[in-house]
Amino acid sequence: MENAVRKTLDLNRRPMPKQAVEVRIHNFDEVALGYTAEMAMEEANRCIQCKKPGCVEKCPVEIDIPGFIKAIAEGDFQRGVQILKSKNSLPSVCGRVCPQEEQCEGGCALLKKAGQIAIGRLERFLGDWEAAQSERMMPEIAPSTGKKVAIVGGGPAGLTVAGDLVKLGHEVVIFEALHKIGGVLVYGIPEFRLPKRIVEHEVEYLRSLGVKMVADYVVGKTRAVDSLLEEYDAVFVGTGAGLPWFSEMPGNNLNGVYSANEYLTRFNLMKGYRFPLVPTPVKEHIRVAVIGGGNVAMDCARTALRMGAETTVLYRRSREEMPARLEEIENAEEEGVHFRYLTLPTRCIGDEYGWVKALECIRMELGEPDASGRRSPIPIKGSEFILPFDAVIHAIGNSPNPLIPQTTSGLEIGKRGNIVADPATGKTSKPRVWAGGDVVTGAATVILAMGAGRKAARSIHEYLMNPSDW
Amino acid sequence: MFTILENRMLVPNLHMMRVMAPDVAQGVLPGQFAIFRPEEDGERIPLTVADWDMAEGSITVVYMNVGRSTAKLATLQKGDVVPTVVGPLGNPMEIGQFGTVMCVGGCYGIGSIYPIARALKEAGNTVITVIEGRSSFLLYWQEKLKTVSDRLLYMTRDGTQGKKGHIGSLPEIVRTLPMRVDRVILNGCNYMMMRGAQETLPLKIKTIVTLNTIMIDGTGMCGVCRVTVDSETRFACVHGPHFDGHKVNWAELTQRRKAYLPEEVIPLRSTRPL
């Protein structure tokens, strides 16, 4: 399925203008420039308006996709925005970072015929169009219910819950550990893929609806969930997957070895790419290795490249199995990121000052498919080799952050340290506590976190309206 | 927000700041830290909470003016706002009935050892506090520390106050005491804690150190604070910052702490005012 999508990508689709490669590798401005109104209408006109749309079926938040596309085709962008935002409060974000090829666009009837509709780009177009209007359409806010909800974590899940509940008349407060609201949208995804002004715009919108936001507040440390429950009628936990993994090998504590979280936070949230104009210290590296093959690995590699380093992605399987979005892989390739497939790092080698200077790797071959359905990589004995690098970034995943699980009584925790929650409602084992997003599923996507947030919001609302019914 | 109530130099290059942070003051325990972000788009740095006033809603930290971020912090004045003060983070210092505890502070550690000594004293321990510095004019908070210590001893490199010596002379102080020391707690720069722990190892005194590492979020998310303790990688922010000083890989810690040494001062080489 996924391969079928990849082979037909862009066929007959209206391409989206991008910054030229030779320009964009020297800046952090957004790579993809977005459709103009004409381009959007042209692309929207290709939609055949299926009676049983496969795109909607594959959308985690069930957006009426043919509906908003029709509105674009007719030039009624305002109506398009309305349709879109009735299901997705962050269209500018999702249009940019959703894996559409696996979701909506993967269900498009045109997939094998003329090239699937560029649903993501159209979604982004509407989101950006709305943001550019001088006045924003304000949704109806239900009269106050007098109920209070605390949301732990200001990422995609928490923002979705907040938006949904505030419209239903509940008082909503978001508590965020970092100094900016947005979670992975602000600390993780780089400026060149998701400009921070877009996230800020969406956050401002929620504020204007009445959502209260408290940054610099670590629930689990500053205050426990148990204590929040004394003041709030319900608590939603959306703290994400914030505990980085390092691949098991010696030398990981050498200087120059980073987790993707550290690397991206330093450059994004803390604006390190502007050092020394901003004081966040960052290193100038010459040869950077990124371990991993997901979107985060692509983000790290493309950041390192823009900082002037010769950058190589090391992935233990082949290009076919890389979990990153094809669009991101292609962008990285175009920009000159090197890829070494079937390569597993086995050791960081340091210099006499404690800095990494090389990686020892081993070549792999693909064996039988594993539990994930992908062919599992097997090391080839005696094929070790050494590559020189002065920085190594681990982008191989994260576990759920343990702060809340450790400090909350009566919360059932899964094997991987995740909070156990009902996938349909987000209810945890602890009364009046809901959870959703990466803290439940382990590292996944923005849209899945938003989908979980939507379900939890529905369940929280039901409970608040009828509290006897837990 | 995080409004500064007081910010002044205590002794050359060491500053104390009292800042409004009611949520931190409400829950902080001895040995915990807060992350400060002295300016927009700047670094986030961990500072141990050296005192707090729950009624006022303030916390006090002692910091050394050593790089761009602390230099910026030092320019702020009463009424100014610190963009981020978040905490309390990290585990509190283990407070128990140990018998006789020697609390050793140097540099900013003279400040951060204070609430630890106070808690140990309240828990019924005999507290011997030792503060050290290059010279007597670099010591501070003597009066405060006296009130929470059974004995307050001094060590200066030039002998201008107390014993002439440095952290390496710790065993001599231990030997002059009439009682056995059951536990040593070291707060100061990493070098001081390393040397102190080396000295207490042959004396077989359990020694707790409060590590200074680079941090970003302070909640376990970034992993930059990783240290090797007893051959295992630990995150100072969530597993520490207090560890058994005899089990820390000090060479690695020292290297990691120095990672951004040049970059921490590069932004100071500018004619722009801080």
pLDDT tens for A386-417 read 999 999 999 999 888 888 988 999 999 998 88
- Of A113-117, A264-268, B18-22, B103-107, where does mean pLDDT reach its minimum? A113-117
A-interface mutation test, from B3, B215, B217, B225, most A Cβ less than 10 A away: B217
Residue A11 pLDDT: 52
> Residue A106: its pLDDT value, please?
92
Q: Across the interface, do A279 and B259 touch by the CB < 8 Å criterion?
A: no
> Which chain B residue shows the shortest CA-CA distance from A261?
B222
Mutate to test the interface with A, among B216, B248, B254 (most CBs of A within 10 A): B216
- CB < 8 Å to B41, chain A: 270-271, 274, 278-280
CB contact under 8 A, A259 and B84: no
Distance to chain B for A284, nearest Cα, Å: 10
What residues in A contact B219, CB-CB < 8 Å?
Answer: 177, 218, 221, 242, 401, 403
Cα B185 from Cα B102, distance rounded (Å): 6
Element (H, E) at B155: strand B151-156
Subunit contact B222:A259, Cβ cutoff 8 A = yes
Question: B274 pLDDT exceeds 90?
Answer: no
B228 vs A contacts (CB less than 8 Å): 253
Percent of chain A with pLDDT over 90: 77
Q: pLDDT exceeding 70 applies to what percent of chain B? A: 100
Please state the rounded mean pLDDT for residues B32-58: 95
Q: How much of chain A exceeds pLDDT 70, in percent?
A: 97
Q: Taking CB atoms and an 8 Å limit, are A402 and B217 in contact across chains?
A: no
Nearest to A278 among B42, B83, B255 (CB): B42
CB contact under 8 A, A265 and B222: yes
Q: Which of A152, A221, A257, A266 to mutate to test the interface with B (most CBs of B within 10 A)?
A: A221
Instruction: Look over chain A and give the mean of its residue pLDDT values, rounded to a whole number.
Output: 92
Comparing CB atoms, the residue among A218, A252, A279 nearest residue B39 is A279
> pLDDT tens digits for A413-426?
998 889 999 999 99
Distance from CA of B206 to the nearest CA of A (A): 26
Tokens for B115?
């609430």
B263–A401 CB contact, under 8 Å: no
Tokens of B134: 């290059």
Taking an 8 Å cut-off on Cβ atoms, the answer to whether B216 and A262 are in contact is yes
Report chain A residues touching chain B, CB-CB < 8 A.
177-179, 215-218, 221-223, 242-244, 246, 252-256, 258-259, 261-262, 265-266, 270-271, 274-276, 278-283, 353-355, 401-403
Q: In what order do the strands lie in the sheet with A310-314?
A: A257-259, A391-394, A287-291, A310-314, A338-340
Residue A6 clears pLDDT 60, i.e. is over it = no
- The dihedral of CA A298, A304, A305, A306: what is its sign? positive
Residues β-bridged to residue A344: A362
Residues A349/A251, Cβ–Cβ less than 8 Å: yes
Angle at which helix B190-200 crosses helix B250-257, to 10 degrees, equals 170
Mind telling me how many Å the CA of A254 is from chain B's nearest CA?
Answer: 7
Query: pLDDT by residue (tens digit) across B65-89?
Result: 998 899 999 999 999 999 999 999 9
Query: A10 pLDDT exceeds 50?
Result: no
Q: Does residue A469 have a pLDDT over 70? A: no
pLDDT digits over B168-178, tens only?
Answer: 999 999 999 99
Nearest CA in chain B to A256: B259
DSSP, collapsed to helix, strand or coil, labels residue A391 as strand
Q: Taking residues A256-266, report their average pLDDT.
A: 95
Q: Where are the alpha helices (DSSP H) in A384-445?
A: 403-407, 438-441
Using CB atoms, pick whichever of A222, A253, A276 lies closest to residue B256: A253
Nearest to A242 among B220, B256, B259 (CB): B220
Nearest-neighbour CA in chain B from A440: distance (Å): 16
Q: What are phi and psi of A435, to 5 degrees?
A: -145, 155
Q: In angstroms, what CA-CA distances link B147 with B129, B142, B222?
A: 11, 9, 39
**Distance (Å) from the alpha carbon of A218 to chain B's nearest alpha carbon:** 7
Q: How many CB atoms lie within 10 A of CB A225?
A: 25
Closest residue in A to B38 (Cα–Cα): A279
Q: What is the largest CA-CA distance in chain A?
A: 70
Cβ neighbors of A442 (< 8 A, separation 6 or more) are: A241, A397, A398, A399, A400, A416, A418
**Residue A4: pLDDT above 70?**
no
Return the pLDDT at A1: 39
pLDDT at A7 over 80: no
What CA–CA distances, in Å, run from A258 to A149, A184, A253, A315, A412?
36, 17, 9, 17, 31
> Is the CA virtual torsion A174, A178, A184, A185 positive or negative?
positive
Rounded to a whole number of angstroms, the distance from the CA of B111 to the nearest CA of chain A is 22
Per-residue pLDDT band for A3 (boundaries 50, 70, 90) equals very low
Region of poorest pLDDT, from A343-347, A466-470, B253-257:
A466-470
* Model pLDDT for residues B208-252, shown as the tens digit of each residue: 999 999 999 999 999 999 999 999 999 999 999 999 999 999 999
Which member of A223, A261, A276 has the closest CB to residue B23? A223
Is residue A9 pLDDT above 80, yes or no?
no
Phi–psi pair at A84, nearest 5 degrees? -60, -50
Write the residue in A242, A262, A353 that is nearest to B219 by C-beta. Answer: A242
Q: Which residues of A touch B224 (CB under 8 A)?
A: 258-259, 262
Nearest by CB to A262, which of B23, B84, B222? B222
How far does A303 lie from chain B, in Å, by closest CA? 17
Confidence band of A355 (pLDDT split at 50, 70, 90): very high
Chain A and chain B share a number of CB contacts under 8 A equal to 127
Q: Which of A384, A177, A137 is nearest to A269 (CA)?
A: A177
Best CA proximity match to A199, nearest among A260, A158, A165: A158
